Amino acid sequence: MLKRKKYAVITGASAGIGMEFAKRLSKRGYPLVLIARREDRLIKLSKELKTKCEIITADLSREEECYRVFYQLQDKEIGVFINNAGFGDCGKFIETDLQKEMNMVQVNVKAVHVLMKLMLKKMQKAGWGYILNVASSAGLIPAGPYMATYYATKAYVTSLTQAVAEELRESGSRVYVGCLCPGPVDTEFNSVANVEFALKGISARDCVDYALKQMGKREVVIIPTKTMQLAMTFGRFLPRPVYVKIAAHQQKKKFKEG
């Protein structure tokens, strides 16, 4: 997977899974492009890494920013693109903030779609590359009451990724496209989404190490931990209404008091 002269590009690189991808890919020798809103965090991270790091600050909730980011990447040889930026929210749909949800759709869906498509065309022309869309196990479940918008956005990502991966396979493309679908991961996601996970989360490092290993095997849907793999497999055999009721029960456990 490593081609040292090619860049690894990571969106949402200022924290959590994105930050861990930056650390792991730097150790593998990749020069990096780190993308996020918080420049101070990106600068701090870049100083901790051993390989060359370039920083692009961008708010991917604005569509024009997605095109600007890609324009800044046009002249670079890119071997790995981690499409990681995203966030969630928890609460009753009738009560959650509409603007936050629209921003979530922009970041989790539109930005992922735009950057994936533009990057895929670039890599296809170059004849090689890896694209990983960071989704969630939520995207493999029929629906998620009390996190309705978040589940819907991640379902979009998993569906899009699997469809495009099959198109690439049938065409004999050397470009890899996959999606990372973890369960709970110990990151800042919890505070942004206003939740406390009922299940114990795995570390971002373990999540990323597993993802990179499976990317090397060209696995399309990557689900870290045996527990989540079994849960996703078991869920396929449940009637959809039952599965949704179970999801609702689990989401209610996540509400933060106050």
CB-based contact 60:106 (threshold 8 Å): yes
Q: Is 103 helix (H, G, I), strand (E, B) or coil?
A: helix
Report the candidate in 66, 84, 49 with the shortest Cα–Cα distance to residue 178: 84
CB-based contact 79:124 (threshold 8 Å): no
Report the candidate in 103, 71, 98, 73 with the shortest Cα–Cα distance to residue 86: 103
Instruction: State the helix-helix crossing angle for 112-126 and 63-73, rounded to 10 degrees.
Output: 20
Rg (CA), the chain: 18
Torsion-angle region of residue 223: left (phi > 0), alpha (psi -120 to 50) or beta? beta
Q: Has 150 been annotated as catalytic? A: yes
CB-based contact 120:224 (threshold 8 Å): no
Q: Which of 150, 151, 176, 210 is catalytic?
A: 150
> Phi, psi at residue 209, to the nearest 5°?
-60, -45
**Which are the contacts of 136, defined by CB distance < 8 A and separation ≥ 6?**
150, 154, 181, 182
Task: Show which residues are catalytic.
Answer: 150
